[in-house]
Structure 1
Amino acid sequence: MIDLLSVYVDLALGLILSFLLLSLLVSGINEGVVRLLAIRSKFLWAYLRDTMDGTGGERAWLPAKVRDVFATLPFARDPRPAHSDQPAPVESAPPPQEAVSGGDAMTTLLYERVREIDHPRTGRTSISNIPPGRFAVAVMELASSGEGGVETWLARLKEMRSPLYGHLNAIWETAQRDTERFRHGVETWFDSEMQRLSLLYRRYVKWVVAALGLAVTLLFSMDGLEYAKSLLRDNALRTGVAAAAAGDAATVGELKAKCTQDVKLADCLTETLSSPALVRVFDHAIVGVSIPAEGDPSVEWNGGVWWDRITTLSHWPGFLLTYVALLFGAPFWWDLFRRLTGLRSRH
């Protein structure tokens, strides 16, 4: 019973580790694309332009479709303000009169107040997160920049037809025209808006992760069912080696039969045990990496073997199992691995 339990534990750990590695690869590719194209920063500033300056009669800056988030937003329209290495001005000038008919006056003024947390990247701002408290302070600085305080500034927003007017005016009235309560209200409102924006962003990203998961599964031709069978074979081999070490002549004969005649039993077992199923999980990828006992690793093109596996229908149930597993994400598999092994996270 204990040996059978050990087999199941080994099988579970092997599958979890393989799915964790592939999930990390998917997450890494997604993160690399997001950082390279600055999608998070563009997503935030597209929302800010829509919220603060409006669309000006044109289509909204923040895309409404998944295709546009990863096509139009990264390549066609960059909503981010130009980077500036200057500190925030002591006083912000009120929006010009010509901004009434549209433009990016409010977005520009906001960037002036928060650009201390920016760093240069391709001439555009790299800010992808504005803390709610910092946004509320920026709003108060803008409201106090001219004469008349918050009420005059809100009237100017209304004159500009800024969508921000409706939100801030409701907060101002709810705060009973108290500036401190107004600041807290703006902070709470913006925090909820960022939570909503994060949920919207994750909804878009999950489709990209799903596409990347499918691509990784097929490129590595990872058959989850076949891999599970390989794990069980490895366990049986380790059991056989232990029996052979104990002097079981029948087991020694079976092990010799698995090795070629011109290779010593010890060398054969060493090579087999040093290449467990977890190491061979990527052997059938379209591009493989072999690590010989001596010499440098080499990269090999496995196009023929890979194509044979892809076009073999019997492998597709295993591909489907792997693909579904990757949809759970790396955090899920890491948490499962930690629970199974008893590892504790540091606090």
Structure 2
Amino acid sequence: MTGSTTLDVVLGLVFVYLLYSLLTTILQEAIANVLSFRAKFLQKAIIRMLEDENAKTADTLLNRIGAFFRVIFRKNVTSQSLPLTEAFYNHPLIKYLAEDDYKNKPSYLTSRNFSQAMLDLLKGNDFAAGDDPGKFIKTALESGVTQWKNNGKPVQINEETLSYLRALWADAQGDAAKFRTALEEWFDVTMERTTGWYKKHTQGVLLILGFLIAMVFNVDTIKLAGALSKNPELREQVIRQADNYIKTHKDQFNAKENLPKDTTLQGLQKRADSLLKTDIADVNKALGIGWKCTSVKEHENKCFHGKDVCIRSHLRIDTIIGWLITAFALSLGAPFWFDLLNKLMKLRGTINSGKDDGKETNSAKPAPTNIKG
């Protein structure tokens, strides 16, 4: 293949990856909403902060795999074995931030929410207007027990967390306002780490969903690359679709969040339906993506096949490899492919513009004149 042909093939693949990675991202976000992934990761971070001794470390591959699936299937609850965390989530300021009884933990907290709840737990139910907060906080930290009563009982603070809170109190020189600021900084640092945990988890979910989508729709990268490399008209058709898509969907992504803008279940469903019925349907038709039988007469009565599904026509050893390549590509996320598609289309435009300029220059040259001596 020439350099231009290679670029066009890559452009075609990137466009396919963009459309299907967007579908993958939509499905991942829908699952995250239904299973409260964000609330679970926030809870994991709070447990890490308040129950250091009880936080389980995924120190082996099997433990990490187990931790991955526990986040997916674990109920969003705390237990008696995590008393300070339970008291934290039972605080009215935190408790009523949850969406409803089904999603009984909030998905987001501000540092101010965290510090206020922690100060209330330390100061206790008896703290009143005009009282010195430092006195109540100091008593709680010295005794190792919250002054706030959860279910009628004070809460024991585990030793590691207590040591850290005492250190923050010492650094604040017994000033309640500075102590609040230190609590908020602690929360912000932990949330930065939590964002990293969530991104890794999302990458794993996207990889699994990517493989399932590649298999269900039969998006075989090897087959697609072969078809594009052999058919110039097909390449041009797909590139025209890609160019039109870029022009009409510039504001489609919120790159910062790596998600479509409307993340409600209704909005995600509407976007998925539109994507499947328009852009994906068009590119599938052009490239022949799917399971339709390619040799109806030859396969009749010889294998399982129908009008829309034929295993024999498509399933080979290299097909699975093609699915795996597709799955990895889809796990990179739609914003990555949208940005890359933009850059490649600009590069292609520059190359084609250079070729056109060269043709004009050559045509402008005067014809050589034969001079006889």
Compute the TM-score of the two structures, normalised by the length of structure 2: 0.59
Q: What's the offset of the Cα at 1:191?
A: 0.9
**Whole-angstrom CA distance in 2 between matches of 1:129 and 1:329:** 23
1:338 to 342, 352, 363: 342
Q: Say whether residues 1:309 and 2:314 are aligned partners.
A: yes
Compute the TM-score of the two structures, normalised by the length of structure 1: 0.63
**CA separation of 1:308 and 1:339: change in aligned 2, threshold 3 A:** same
**CA separation of 1:339 and 1:328: change in aligned 2, threshold 3 A:** same
Gaps of 5+ in 2: 128-134, 147-155, 237-280, 294-305, 347-373
Indicate if the aligned counterparts of 1:46 and 1:61 stay in contact, CA closer than 8 A: no
Question: Which residue in 2 is equivalent to 1:42?
Answer: 40
**CA separation of 1:227 and 1:77: change in aligned 2, threshold 3 A:** closer
Question: Which residue in 2 is equivalent to 1:15?
Answer: 13
Q: Which letter does structure 2 place at the counterpart of 1:304?
A: C
**Whole-angstrom CA distance in 1 between matches of 2:46 and 2:230:** 57
**Whole-angstrom CA distance in 1 between matches of 2:308 and 2:322:** 19
Q: What's the offset of the Cα at 1:156?
A: 4.3
Q: Say whether residues 1:151 and 2:147 are aligned partners.
A: no
2:204 to 181, 187, 207: 207
| Per-residue Cα deviation, 1:95-145 (whole angstroms, up to 9, x for no partner) | xxxx9xx653553345422344332142x4241121223212322333344
Question: Which residue in 2 is equivalent to 1:184?
Answer: 181
**CA separation of 1:234 and 1:144: change in aligned 2, threshold 3 A:** same
**CA separation of 1:282 and 1:67: change in aligned 2, threshold 3 A:** farther
**Whole-angstrom CA distance in 2 between matches of 1:284 and 1:333:** 22
**Whole-angstrom CA distance in 2 between matches of 1:62 and 1:38:** 22
| Per-residue Cα deviation, 1:34-61 (whole angstroms, up to 9, x for no partner) | 2212132123224424543567xxx657
**Whole-angstrom CA distance in 1 between matches of 2:105 and 2:181:** 26
Identity fraction in percent: 23
Q: Say whether residues 1:319 and 2:299 are aligned partners.
A: no
Q: What's the offset of the Cα at 1:234?
A: 5.0
Higher RCO (CA 8 Å, separation ≥ 6 residues)? 2
**Whole-angstrom CA distance in 2 between matches of 1:112 and 1:198:** 25
Indicate if the aligned counterparts of 1:53 and 1:103 stay in contact, CA closer than 8 A: yes
Gaps of 5+ in 1: 82-98, 240-274, 288-299, 343-347
Question: Which residue in 2 is equivalent to 1:32?
Answer: 30
- Partner of 1:117, secondary structure, is coil
Superposed, 1:186-335 pairs within 5 Å as: 186-232=183-229, 235-236=232-233, 279-281=285-287, 283-285=289-291, 302-305=308-311, 308-310=313-315, 312-335=316-339
Equivalent pairs counted in the alignment come to: 268
Indicate if the aligned counterparts of 1:53 and 1:164 stay in contact, CA closer than 8 A: yes
Indicate if the aligned counterparts of 1:218 and 1:319 stay in contact, CA closer than 8 A: yes
RMSD value, Cα? 3.7
Q: Which letter does structure 1 place at the counterpart of 2:203?
A: K
**Whole-angstrom CA distance in 2 between matches of 1:183 and 1:238:** 61
Q: Which letter does structure 2 place at the counterpart of 1:309?
A: H
Question: Which residue in 2 is equivalent to 1:161?
Answer: 157
**CA separation of 1:278 and 1:197: change in aligned 2, threshold 3 A:** same
Question: Which residue in 1 is equivalent to 2:110?
Answer: 131
